[in-house]
Amino acid sequence: MTHSDPVLAVPLATTVPISGPSLTEGLGAIAGIATLHDRSIPGTRAGISHIAIGPSGVYVIDAHDARGIVVRRDRRLFVGVQDRSDLLAAMKVPVDAVAAALGDLHLPISRALCFTAGEWPAGNPPFMLRGVWVGPSNPLFGIVAQPGRLQPSEIEYARNRLDALLPASD
């Protein structure tokens, strides 16, 4: 018998554990992608989990290991029984820092909230919510690897600029 979680309205038997390579490993395995991990934002206590720069643009990725079923209800994000819509709003700080560091390069910047633990409803694809891609890591690797207009020299220039302006966290 399948039991349902009344708070999330998701049948419990239809969830799968999130698994696969770590974000650092998975992003590092994509040819033509430059990455930076665990960066500080000068003047703040905030940080950036991952930045990936590829032919299709710059991806600011916030990784969370929150446990529970990840679902969207209306315009809200729930992990387990907790409303974690705050994570969507918090993406503004790292995205603004990356945009400021890139300055006049005017590269497309995408936001991703990646859940590395917990469970994902089977048959429920990742989704966009308030301009943020939300999902597990494996589908994100394919998005970051998409073709685009940026050339390898532009990718490396953007990576070097971000590396210089957003220092590694201690």
Percent of the chain at pLDDT exceeding 90: 68
Question: What pairing do the DSSP bridges indicate for beta strands 34-40 and 57-64?
Answer: unpaired
Question: What pairing do the DSSP bridges indicate for beta strands 132-136 and 127-129?
Answer: antiparallel
Q: Is residue 170 part of a domain?
A: no
Name the residue with tokens 């953007």.
158
- The number of folded domains in the chain is 1
- The three-class DSSP label of residue 10 is strand
Q: Is residue 39 part of a domain?
A: yes
pLDDT in tens, 14-69: 444 455 578 888 899 999 999 999 999 999 999 999 999 999 999 999 998 888 88
pLDDT in tens, 71-123: 999 999 999 899 999 999 999 999 999 999 999 998 999 999 998 886 777 77
Tell me the whole-structure pTM to 2 decimals. Answer: 0.86
Q: Is residue 159 part of a domain?
A: yes
Q: Is residue 129 part of a domain?
A: yes
With a CB cutoff of 8 Å and minimum separation 6, the contacts of 159 are 34, 35, 36, 53
Domain of residue 53, residue span: 4-165
Q: Is residue 116 part of a domain?
A: yes
pLDDT in tens, 1-29: 333 333 334 444 344 445 557 888 889 99
